[in-house]
Amino acid sequence: IRFILKKSANIRHFSCDRWLGRPGFLIVGLDIAHPSYSMVPNKDRNSVLSVVGYSANIKKHPLDFIGGYRFAKAQMEELMDDAIQQIFSDLLRYFNANRGMPPTHLFVIRDGISVGQYKYVMNTEVEQIKHACQLVGGRNYRPHITFIVLTKMHNLRIYKKNIHKQERAAQQNIKPGTVIDKHVVNPVLSEFYLNSHSTFQGTAKTPRYTLLFDTSKMEADEMQGIVHALAYNFQIVNMAISLPSPVVIASRMAKRGRCNYVAMFGDGSESSDNGKNNEKDAVELNKQLSYINKPLEVVRFNA
């Protein structure tokens, strides 16, 4: 197959503009990489900083996502400092500088959260986002905030009622864009299962999305459309992936930050040269290893 890229080609599409191209619409993906027990000889994971990966469409084009990471202190899988507030403060400033207006709606998708941590997210991470808005725009600046948590760590599998054995796995599995938002979802929370990708082997593992906070009163169809549209924006492949692109980029940024930490300070094992010095200062680490105030801060460089 030959692809010819024309400079005059218009990459805009109605569906993209409808869901993602609205003015003032800031989309943020978040993921956190916590240290493994193998990194800490004394098995105290709180002595090693966690890495918060993030991705957002803060450049001029609303479909242009860039990412970065910050080191943060965490305890029992939960952040103990204001890393989220710092990240969103920077994102709001960059968005305003590149678009000429502050965001009017923050659409946040968070990965790596279990059901038992929902209260923590509401009391800590959502509140830090609110504080970041007031810090940047003042008391009267209150954009809409939509906070969604996604996970693949569940046992639910969705498949067709009638499956023909002679068909391939892609035809046997549910089609991309399939949404389940009734009967098998949480009866209390706003929740849905959305299968964005084609599954070529085994049974499709459909991500679950849970709405924890929303001030915009967004309809379920609109929310599901945004999440599904983001799965087509990974740019590395010419088809949809299983998760929204900002979340995948954020996850890879968190992994990159962890790898950079290990490359500089060792893996924390007794054989490592720096294994006895695990406690690092987050401020100093962010200066040394993150891309804050560096050329790569506003560049999409990861695949």
Per-residue pLDDT of the chain (303 residues; tens, 9 = 90+): 444 434 333 444 445 567 788 889 999 999 998 876 666 555 555 567 899 999 999 999 998 999 999 999 887 668 888 999 999 999 999 999 999 999 999 999 999 888 899 999 999 999 999 999 999 999 999 999 999 999 988 888 877 778 777 777 677 777 888 888 998 888 899 999 998 877 677 777 789 999 999 999 999 999 999 999 999 888 788 888 889 999 999 999 999 999 998 888 877 555 444 444 445 688 889 999 998 888 888 888 776
Can you give the pLDDT at residue 78?
80
Written as six digits, the tokens of 85 are 């507030």
111 domain-assigned = yes
Can you give the pLDDT at residue 109?
97
Can you give the pLDDT at residue 134?
96
Residue-by-residue DSSP string for 155-169: ------SS--TTS-H
Read off the pTM: 0.86
In the three-class reduction of DSSP (H, G, I as helix; E, B as strand; rest coil), residue 211 is classed as strand
Can you give the pLDDT at residue 35?
77
Buried b (16+ CB within 10 A) or exposed e, 64-102: ebbbbbbbbbbeeeebebebbbbbbbbbbebbbeebeeb
**Tally of CB atoms within 10 A around 250:** 30
45 domain-assigned = yes
188 domain-assigned = no
228 domain-assigned = no
Question: Do residues 207 and 193 make contact, with C-beta atoms less than 8 angstroms apart?
Answer: yes
205 domain-assigned = no
**C-alpha to C-alpha distance for 31 and 84, rounded to whole angstroms:** 11
Can you give the pLDDT at residue 268?
59
Q: Using one digit for the tens of pLDDT, what is the confidence trace for 164-199?
A: 777 776 777 778 888 889 988 888 999 999 988 776
Instruction: State the residue range of the domain holding 239.
Output: 14-149+212-222+233-268
* CATH number of 78's domain: 3.30.420.10
Can you give the pLDDT at residue 198?
74
Q: Considering only CA atoms, which of 188, 189, 231 is closest in space to residue 207?
A: 231
119 domain-assigned = yes
Written as six digits, the tokens of 116 are 């038992």
18 domain-assigned = yes
Q: How many domains does the chain have?
A: 1
Can you give the pLDDT at residue 3?
40
The radius of gyration computed from the CA coordinates of the chain, to the nearest angstrom, equals 20
Give backbone dihedrals phi and psi of 107, rounded to 5 degrees, phi first: -110, 105
131 Cβ contact list (under 8 Å, min separation 6) = 82, 85
